[in-house]
Chains A and B, each alone.
Chain A
Amino acid sequence: MQFPESNNASISLRELQKQFWSSCRKRENGIYSMIRSKSDFSPEQRMDVYRTTARSAHVSALMDSFPVCRAILGDDYFKLLAKSYFMQTPSLSVDMNLYGESFPGHIAMLIGQRKELKELVYIVDLARLEWEYQKAYFAPNAAVFDVDRFQDKCRRLGDRAVLTLQSGISCMSSCFRVFEIWEMHRQDKLEQQSIVSNSRQYICIYNKDYQPLVEKVNAGVYELLIQIQQNKSLAEIANIFQGRHDLNAALTTAINNRWITS
């Protein structure tokens, strides 16, 4: 390699990175004139290696995070959706595991545009479940209910006390049987079942002993977890529950499962 061979030495590092990025994301060609080219490997082909590598890394991350959606849609179609998401949604986190938070929303948007997705409308809720499962995988291990902290909180704040949930927990509701669909695919048991649930389905996704878990819950527990997530006080929750759900039963379930930590 011979040096120097500089014919456009004035380009700054910042400008070069800007041009490189534009070429990667938007196929702009300003960078080509800055790239050395020997043999039959052109600057455009060299940049294609970076474009392909970046896209593959993002698509692979989505394939890992949404395995059941991928199984239902098939690898090729899933990759098509993943590529369109990648083109619209750059990663904003250094942690690749956090890439894909808005992928369920992207699918929801495409359902309105692509007729082949219309019969798979439940896939949006399934994708939401898979994303929460992924989050629970990386969540800290849940602590047991801290009675002392809870009592202290109640002493200080009375019925204005706000309960604390474990950090990895999330809950969702769906009018589809997403829990059963998710479980069947995970266990490779593909039975023909109705996808529409007779009643609304409530699901809790959480972390226990370093493992993410998914569980169906009743409407009362779901309501309790949602209200705590919205920072409602015990008094406010009691008010909401009046005559609708059994608050004591919901609290007992949530505390025993370590969903409430204090």
Chain B
Amino acid sequence: MRSFYASVASNTLGVGVGLRSPHVARILKDLPSLDWFELLADNHIVAGGWARQQAIEIAQHYPVTMHCVGMSIGSCDPINFDYLKKVKQLAVEVQTRLLSDHLCWTTWNSQNSHDLLPLPFTEEALAHVVDRIVRIQDYLGSRIAIENVSSYLTYKHSTIEEVEFVNSVAQQADCLILFDINNLYVNHVNNGQQTYRYLNNIDITRVAELHLAGFENKEQYVLDAHNDTVHDNVWALYEYFLRRKIDVPTLIEWDHNIPEFEVLYAEAMKACQIKQQLLREREPVYAVS
């Protein structure tokens, strides 16, 4: 499918962070050395005002990607084309490198949960989601990436393994995958998701972006709160994935208890270091005669 956006995310994007409003003035003043920023599209699609302007000004200095939460890809409600129209306008305006949303549902009967609700992994859900993504992509004129979501339950009547479901959606809808490695770990703790099996089987040809974030330990479960540094176990999974495919843009997300920008920056640099270390390991060693 052709794309009218700047280009689909590729290895030209290295490590970025999610743009959050408390950091914008500082970023525009100092222009820190970062490869790209991800915009939470829903915060910037309003017709005007400072929120819209922030997105435009950041895009003048950095490549950006757009991450949505409002497509409600798995919902049984009609597709919200008013929303998609606004997303499309912003995408063109900021020349987004990638447009993504979540493999979940958020609305019921026109009411919005503002939460990422879990889908059953069934043949019916697969066909439903594929059909909607195809129509969404047709409208947007570009491929989107779908993100595996964190969850706190699974359904008894699911018949497909999650990784297989994600791969099938991507292949049948011809879309990309935004692989959230923190979500994989959260689901491992909460639902017994098998992490290495997932990492080994995800369709790397379609993974266009990686997400990393922190979670909150609630004893009984872990909450995908995006309010802390990336956990060591998640870094380990990240490194494991990079050994399969290294040229994937990586993003650090932080949504609650947002710290100083330096903290996010340090997390991004940690991801860079892991990538660079793996690249060095791959360099051929020549014998000196």
Contacts and interface: CB of A to CB of B under 8 A. Distances in A.
A35 B153 CA distance: 7
B282 interface: no
B50 A210 contact: yes
Interface string B187-226: 0001111100000000000000000000000001101000
Interface stretch (A44-52, A146-154, A191-199, A235-243): A44-52
A224 B111 CA distance: 37
Interface centre among A24, A36, A92, A140 (most CB of B within 10 A): A36
Nearest to A53: B115
A21 B157 contact: no
Contacts of A49: 152, 221, 223
Nearest to A10: B157
Contacts of B108: 17-18, 20-21
A96 B76 contact: no
A12 B76 CA distance: 10
Contacts of B36: none
A36 B154 contact: yes
A140 B192 CA distance: 47
Contacts of B124: 12-13
Interface in A109-127: none
A94 B80 contact: yes
Nearest to A49: B152
Given A96-B42, A211-B50, A7 B156 contact: yes
Contacts of A91: 111-114
Contact of A138 (B48, B114, B152, B161): B48
A25 B49 CA distance: 33
Contacts of A215: none
A1 B161 contact: yes
B47 interface: yes
Given A45-B220, A94-B112, A13 B120 contact: yes
B62 to A, nearest CB: 20
A96 B44 CA distance: 12
A11 B157 contact: yes
A80 interface: no
A90 interface: yes
Contact of A20 (B114, B117, B221): B117
Contacts of B42: 94-96
Interface string A168-199: 10000000000000000000000000000000
A241 B240 CA distance: 75
A17 B110 CA distance: 13
B155 A138 contact: no
A1 B125 contact: no
30 contacts: A1-B162, A3-B160, A6-B156, A6-B158, A8-B157, A12-B124, A13-B76, A17-B75, A17-B105, A18-B108, A21-B108, A24-B113, A33-B156, A34-B155, A35-B154, A46-B152, A47-B153, A49-B152, A50-B113, A54-B113, A90-B111, A90-B112, A91-B114, A94-B112, A96-B42, A137-B49, A137-B51, A140-B48, A168-B49, A211-B50
Interface of B: 42, 45-51, 53, 70, 72, 74-76, 80, 83, 105, 107-115, 117, 119-120, 122, 124-125, 128, 152-162, 190-194, 220-221, 223
